[in-house]
Structure 1
């Protein structure tokens, strides 16, 4: 009667239908998750427990998973309700337009997030107070994101990926160049951010209600960063991206004036950071996928992996100030890295 493990990078997830007495009046399915051991983390984290955060947001944010009633208010992490339905990605693939009714619910979510301020939420934090940017310090907020990518993604994995990084022209100078491209942000009042609003984290139920799942990357910070991450991950058609930006501005300004200040100049900078961040994330993940046995005798997975890496390098060439290697050079860098891994398991 247990389903799983379900597909997911960060957790091993199982779904179970509890007896009615434990599940409440309505018998529904619940999910239990355990972090996968030995994972590489590519994003900065803020909250100690996703379940604690969901508990605190109940009644303040619509369309989020609730918890098993008997466990609410205890130290037990608890079980999240499994949201029945289909993800936006399943219904409307990357690059496709989102129907008006669902689009409006995403805008409403941004408005609700803008209402949640750091001093209004009593939830355990993983970051120390000294490591949190001052209220409205958008430059300090972005610097901490860049520093995480530099220190915890690039430098921490240098031992295992040095041959590949250097073969692709990615060195420590890249981050200094990135900082130069994204400097000088406008101050904006902070609020709660989901920080991972893509099509697979939205679930549409049978009544066409939109649910938002996977809150583990949530944080307090610059509201424009949440929009930038959303636009980058959603891949809206151009006209719908323009409408989302326009309606997002109206939504957050209606809650806290100044929340969209300077967006015209700052949104391109935050999108540039997202493109640069993806280089290090995608290079590592793509390389590891090859190591896991997807390379065949004709070398085609190696070529396909090279094509994926060249695309992310090309997208981030300007903020990182890198020369994108030729396709055969990218493939050669991957092959050299694989050979080194075989020699030094």
Structure 2
């Protein structure tokens, strides 16, 4: 949960409550988000929040503005040209920050850091994290639900086969979570980028794929983003877009598969908050998982995606089994 604290009449900072351990479903590279933001400021990346020190504690300045509107059935989700251009410029600025340039401590061990340009190794580390820290770690609570949905240990073997053989590209800074709620436009029209806690150093094409997957641009704007991304990346980091024609679709497949593992857990937990089952929200939750499983069927090797009714039954069964165990 996010709290806002006033420091002065004009300056507010934000403070997060620690999240439950089970919800830490994404790999983190840097030890401190605030330390990373200070380092980014040193590299003249202006769209990140300021960090305010109060005693021995660092806080991020709250950015007043609006997040980008979500794509809905009544809205195309297209962003304005002014915002679009600022997102492209952000990619340019991140691309020029290479491994070893940031004075921010990293939490991952040296053996968990692939060599610069080892794009296969980079994606493999993300798969290992998903397999070990998301799937296996939460297996006692969710193995039955995953099995009901057709996801097993074999899914990781098939996923690796689906995404292997990426072209080598030089590494740079990645935000790794560039979606509409992390992009804020202030009253002057300036774009601010928040929530850098998942930032990492790695394959620049991964950041583009993640952005496209999360943003859900209308098709013409998505094609334009790919073209503009290629243009600015090649200027700032020659060969940084090499092999994108073959690799973008494979990294997008990884993102679709990743969503299965994280969203199955999140959706199930949300339905069972406070030990009460949200029966009214069950059809919507099952619909969301059905869409996610359908999108990830190919990289995960799902021969048949469970129906909406089967997914609802699996979610109810998981809730009842958990309640009985408790």
Give the TM-score of the pair, scaled to structure 2: 0.94
Distance (Å, rounded) in 2 between the aligned partners of 1:19 and 1:306: 45
Cα RMSD of the aligned pairs, angstroms, is: 1.7
* 1:66 counterpart residue number: 50
Name structure 2 gaps, 5 residues minimum. none
CA drift of 1:77 comes to 4.1
CA drift of 1:33 comes to 2.6
**Match for residue 311 of structure 2 among 330, 336, 339:** 330
User: Is structure 2 residue 291 aligned with structure 1 residue 308?
Assistant: no
User: Contact conserved, 1:118 with 1:220, CA < 8 A, in 2?
Assistant: yes
CA drift of 1:29 comes to 1.4
CA drift of 1:219 comes to 0.3
**Match for residue 251 of structure 1 among 232, 235, 239:** 232
- Which shifted more, 259-268 or 37-46? 37-46
User: Contact conserved, 2:179 with 2:215, CA < 8 A, in 1?
Assistant: yes
Distance (Å, rounded) in 2 between the aligned partners of 1:340 and 1:201: 36
User: Contact conserved, 1:294 with 1:301, CA < 8 A, in 2?
Assistant: no
User: Contact conserved, 2:277 with 2:319, CA < 8 A, in 1?
Assistant: no
Q: How does 1:240-319 map to 2 (within 5 A)?
A: 240-292=221-273, 295=277, 299-319=279-299
> C-alpha offsets along residues 89-118 of structure 1, whole Å, 9 cap, x if unaligned?
36x768410000110000000000001112
User: Contact conserved, 1:303 with 1:331, CA < 8 A, in 2?
Assistant: yes
**Match for residue 93 of structure 2 among 112, 118, 130:** 112
Name structure 1 gaps, 5 residues minimum. 1-11, 21-26
* 1:128 counterpart residue number: 109
User: Contact conserved, 1:95 with 1:235, CA < 8 A, in 2?
Assistant: no
Distance (Å, rounded) in 2 between the aligned partners of 1:237 and 1:80: 32
* 2:300 counterpart residue number: 320
CA drift of 1:328 comes to 2.2
User: Contact conserved, 1:51 with 1:77, CA < 8 A, in 2?
Assistant: no
The runs of at least 4 aligned residues of structure 1 exceeding 4 Å deviation read: 92-95
User: Contact conserved, 2:173 with 2:204, CA < 8 A, in 1?
Assistant: yes
* 1:82 counterpart residue number: 62
Distance (Å, rounded) in 1 between the aligned partners of 2:161 and 2:294: 18
> C-alpha offsets along residues 72-93 of structure 1, whole Å, 9 cap, x if unaligned?
xx9x341111001011136x76
> C-alpha offsets along residues 4-35 of structure 1, whole Å, 9 cap, x if unaligned?
xxxxxxxx322122147xxxxxx321122332
User: Contact conserved, 1:275 with 1:316, CA < 8 A, in 2?
Assistant: yes
* 2:2 counterpart residue number: 13
Q: How does 1:14-163 map to 2 (within 5 A)?
A: 14-19=3-8, 27-59=10-42, 60-68=44-52, 76-89=56-69, 95-163=76-144
CA drift of 1:300 comes to 4.3
Distance (Å, rounded) in 2 between the aligned partners of 1:197 and 1:149: 19
Distance (Å, rounded) in 2 between the aligned partners of 1:36 and 1:168: 27
Corresponding pairs, count: 321
Q: How does 1:155-234 map to 2 (within 5 A)?
A: 155-234=136-215
